[in-house]
Amino acid sequence: MTAKPHSNDRGGKASSSPLLSPPARQRLVTKDGHCTLRPPPPPPGLWPWAWARAWLLTFQDLWGAVVGLRWRWVLLAFCASFLAHWLLFACLWYLLAHLNGDLAVLDHDAPPLGHVVCVKHITSFTAAFSFSLETQLTIGYGTMFPSGDCPSAIALLA
Residues 154 and 98: their CA atoms lie apart, in Å, by 16
What phi-psi label fits residue 138: left (phi over 0), alpha (psi between -120 and 50 degrees) or beta?
A: left
- Do residues 39 and 59 make contact, with C-beta atoms less than 8 angstroms apart? no
Residues 109 and 62: their CA atoms lie apart, in Å, by 50
* Threshold 0.85, pTM exceeds: no
**Lowest-pLDDT choice from 10-19, 61-70, 75-84, 110-119:** 10-19
Instruction: Please state the rounded mean pLDDT for residues 59-72.
Output: 79
